[in-house]
Amino acid sequence: MTDVAGKTIDVAVFGAGRIGKIHASNLARQPGVRLKYVVDVNRDAAAALAAQYGAQVADIDGAMGDASVGATVICSSTDTHADLILQSAAQKKHVFCEKPVDLTLERARACADAVAKAGIVCMIGFQRRFDPTFAALKARIDAGEIGTPEMLVVTSRDPGAPPVEYIKHSGGIFKDMLIHDFDIFRWILDDEADTLHATGSCLSDPAIADAGDIDCTAVTIRTKRGRLCQINTSRRAAYGYDQRFELLGSEGMLQAGNVRPTEVTAYSKTAVSSDVPEHFFLERYRAAYALEIAHFFEAVTQGKPVRTTVADGLKALELAEAATRSWREGRAVKLNEAL
């Protein structure tokens, strides 16, 4: 195995769960990249994943302490992200970290500072920016196809809520779920929020309300340049994972639609029907996950900038924080309020 620049990057993956497996599988296909360690508190999970790609099981210190490891891929639970980023920065290892950077702005900012000081690449896993449909739409905006962007409408719905235990430690729906939509908003409109209003309800399961959270939200953002964005989100869509957005511009509109498993259309006595969308994020963003990991290693090996930086992670978190405040206090908030 040889890499383009003449040397192989050894990688440590933290977290051997659902998303860790995806990233491991994708990085195994990158030329010049070798999965060296898998780290997980669940040693069996770590061992199984390591075995699949000829890697070793290690603990955090072992992986971080190995100077030959050039990059870390952080897919462990949210509360470990900041520590692992800080340790990676201290060891001058490049970092790919799943969103969010952290549930608190303070610690997320500390990560951003450490990354800047260390001069490492730190990419946050906003994989949606790598989705072929979303990326093509973005390129067409940038090419001026619809003139000046004016209004963005984002629809973001999960097929079902996670367990309430998960929700309790998730930081709330705005940090856990809408953080992706906030990133889409910034990326697509290429603008920053000036004011934000969020409201929501708990309609699917009272246990979510008991945990202090909501399961559907309606967020409106007005940007510094006066552009508008509306985001509607639900933890439960009976028909599956619904990931669409549309952008009205001065010269037209672009829509990003869902992806279907097949292109079969059925005509029955009562309806003409096609497939429901891909079931959930692992299916819907399969291509996006592969492309983001390729992008990360390309950036690392070729010294290119990454598309989703730790600064993007911070900005999305600020929006999530503002949305939480707006919802709790029942008022629109200015983004320059101290958060």
Within residues 244-273, the interface with its own copies by CB under 8 A covers 248-259, 261-273
> Degrees (nearest 5) of the Cα angle 338, 110, 106?
35
Show contacts with its own copies in window 148-187 (CB under 8 A): 148, 150-151, 153, 155, 157
* x/- letters, 40..79, toward its own copies (CB under 8 A): ----------------------------------------
Distance CA 49, CA 114 (A): 30
Within 10 Å of residue 110's Cβ, how many Cβ atoms? 17
By the rule CB under 8 A, 147 interacts with its own copies: yes
State in angstroms the smallest separation of the CB of 284 from its own copies: 11
- The token duo for 18 is 């659902």
Beta carbon of residue 9, minimum distance to its own copies (angstroms, whole number): 20
User: Which residues 6+ apart lie within 8 Å of 335 measured at CB?
Assistant: 192, 193, 194, 195, 196, 318, 319, 322
User: Which residue number, 259 or 335, has a Cβ lying nearer to its own copies?
Assistant: 259
Determine, following the binding rule CB under 8 A, whether residue 336 of this chain makes contact with its own copies. no
Residue type, 18: R
Binding segment (CB under 8 A) for its own copies, from list 10-18, 100-108, 180-188, 198-206: 198-206
Q: Indicate which single residue of 6, 163, 303, 330 sits in contact with its own copies (rule: CB under 8 A).
A: 330
Assess 4 for contact with its own copies (CB under 8 A).
no
Query: Tokens 């209004």 — which residue?
Result: 151
Residues 120-139 that bind its own copies (CB under 8 A): 132-133, 136-137
Shortest Å distance, C-beta 159 to its own copies: 10
Distance CA 237, CA 200 (A): 16
The minimum distance between CB 338 and its own copies, in angstroms, equals 19
Instruction: Return the residues of window 275-304 that contact its own copies according to CB under 8 A.
Output: 275-277
**Total residues binding its own copies (CB under 8 A):** 71
Q: Which of 47, 48, 110, 203 binds its own copies (CB under 8 A)?
A: 203
For 229, the enclosing helix (H) or strand (E) is strand 228-234
Using CB under 8 A as the binding rule, whether residue 322 contacts its own copies is answered as no
**DSSP SS3 for 51:** helix
Whether 41 and 65 have beta carbons less than 8 Å apart is answered as no
Closest contact distance (angstroms) between CB of 213 and its own copies is: 14
Pairing of strands 216-223, 228-234: antiparallel
In terms of CB distance, is 14 or 281 closer to its own copies? Answer: 281
In angstroms, the CA 274 to CA 263 distance is 7
Amino acid at 325: R
Q: Which of 23, 197, 307, 315 binds its own copies (CB under 8 A)?
A: 197
Tokens representing residue 144 in the block = 């001026």
Q: Which phi and psi angles does 193 have, rounded to 5°?
A: -70, 140
Nearer to its own copies, 145 or 298 (CB): 145
Return d(Cα 100, Cα 94) in angstroms, integer: 17
- Min dist. Cβ of residue 215 to its own copies (A): 9
- Please tell me the distance from the alpha carbon of residue 147 to that of residue 248, in angstroms, as a whole number: 9
Query: What single-letter amino acid sits at 237?
Result: A
* CB of residue 1 to its own copies, shortest distance in Å: 10
Closest distance to its own copies from the beta carbon of 237 (Å): 7
- Residue holding tokens 């075995």? 51
Task: Name residues contacting its own copies, limited to 208-237 (CB under 8 A).
Answer: 216-218, 220, 222, 226-230, 232, 234, 236-237
195 is an interface residue for its own copies by CB under 8 A: yes
